[in-house]
């Protein structure tokens, strides 16, 4: 396996945004994901949180910590069940379900979110941050907060930003320069900015859901993909694409 530092796609995408359905639940409502029962200590709720990544993935571990803290701070009244590995659907479908209130929470990539709120397409551009410190200064500042708030116009509420690293290319054949991308079919997130970027680099952008990447590499439907290192490892993409840069 060849590995070098990710430069050409540095910070193209943050790993994701935690979303919840807009609106509030009262003691008179019952969610699709679970019910409630009135007791002296107040109503109890069970909600669902959809995650595309496997159970041992960094963002999934973060989801579980979020659920644990909510349960503690609600004194056990609110339980959040985390569903990893796209059990409740791929990101686009899950976002739609959050909009409808069928699923209460999800952690999704900003690339997928760009199809629902164009403000988030900015994170698909390369080189917009100088380093991680610059990135978090923006996200935790005024404009990062405004971006989260803007999701309410899309019938969602943005809660927080997650990150699991910069983007890398990984491929069946070595990629040592931009010239090596020419003509290669590279999987990208289903987002116009990502597609245009990959085509501008000379590759043939091939948008597809994350869950289809392994079999697409295995069968030669795609030659390469781009993602962060945890995705490359935990989804076993390294078994089919042994070169990473």
pLDDT at 201 exceeding the cut of 50:
yes
* pLDDT of 120 above 50: yes
Whole-number mean pLDDT of the chain?
85
Say if residue 3's pLDDT is above 90: no
Look at 181 and 111; give whichever has higher pLDDT: 181
pLDDT of residue 127: 84
Instruction: Sketch the domain layout of the chain as residue ranges.
Output: 16-162, 168-244
- Within this chain, domains 16-162 and 168-244 share the same CATH topology: yes
Among 49-58, 85-94, 160-169, 207-216, the minimum mean pLDDT is found in: 160-169
Domain 168-244 has CATH 3.40.190.10: yes
- Provide mean pLDDT across the span 185-214: 93
Identify the helix (H) or strand (E) that includes residue 9.
Answer: none
Asked if residue 227 lies in contact with residue 170, where contact means CB atoms within 8 angstroms, the answer is yes
- What is the chain's Cα-based Rg? 19
Tell me how far apart the alpha carbons of residues 86 and 53 are, in angstroms, rounded to a whole number. Answer: 7
What average pLDDT does range 167-193 have in this prediction?
93
The 3-state DSSP class for residue 113 equals: helix
State whether residue 226 is helix, strand or coil.
Answer: strand
Please give the pLDDT value at position 17: 67
| Among 28, 22, 14, 209, residue whose Cα is nearest residue 98 | 22
Residue 212: count other Cβ atoms within 10 Å of its Cβ.
Answer: 13
* Pairwise CA distance, residues 219 & 224, whole Å: 12
pTM value?
Answer: 0.77
At residue 12, the pLDDT reads 26
Hey, what CATH class is 16-162 in?
Answer: alpha beta
pLDDT at 8: 25
List all residues 6 or more positions away from 131 whose beta carbon is below 8 Å from its beta carbon.
none
pLDDT band with cut points at 50, 70 and 90 for residue 191: confident
Query: Does 150 have pLDDT greater than 50?
Result: yes
Residue 11: pLDDT band (50, 70, 90) is very low
């Amino acid at each position: 396996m060849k590995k070098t530092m990710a430069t050409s796609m540095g910070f193209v995408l943050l790993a994701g945004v935690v979303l919840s359905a807009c609106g509030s639940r009262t003691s008179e409502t019952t969610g699709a994901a679970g019910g409630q029962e009135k007791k002296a200590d107040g109503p109890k709720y069970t909600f669902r949180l959809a995650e595309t990544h496997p159970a041992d993935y960094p963002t999934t571990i973060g989801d579980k910590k979020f659920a644990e803290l909510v349960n503690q701070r609600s004194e056990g009244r609110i339980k959040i069940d985390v569903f990893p590995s796209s059990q409740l659907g791929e990101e686009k479908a899950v976002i739609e379900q959050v909009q409808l209130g069928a699923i209460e929470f999800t952690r999704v990539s900003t690339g997928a979110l760009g199809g629902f709120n164009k403000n988030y397409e900015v994170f698909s551009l390369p080189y917009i941050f100088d380093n991680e410190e610059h990135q978090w200064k923006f996200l935790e500042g005024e404009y990062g907060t405004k971006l989260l708030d803007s999701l309410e116009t899309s019938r969602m509420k943005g809660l927080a930003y997650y990150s699991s690293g910069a983007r890398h290319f990984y491929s069946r054949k070595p990629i040592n320069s931009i010239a090596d991308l020419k003509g290669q079919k590279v999987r990208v997130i289903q987002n116009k900015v990502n597609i245009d970027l990959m085509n501008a680099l000379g590759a043939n952008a091939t948008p597809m859901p994350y869950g289809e990447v392994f079999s697409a590499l295995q069968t030669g439907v795609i030659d390469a993909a781009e993602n962060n290192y945890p995705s490359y490892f935990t989804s076993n993409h390294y078994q089919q694409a042994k070169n990473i840069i």
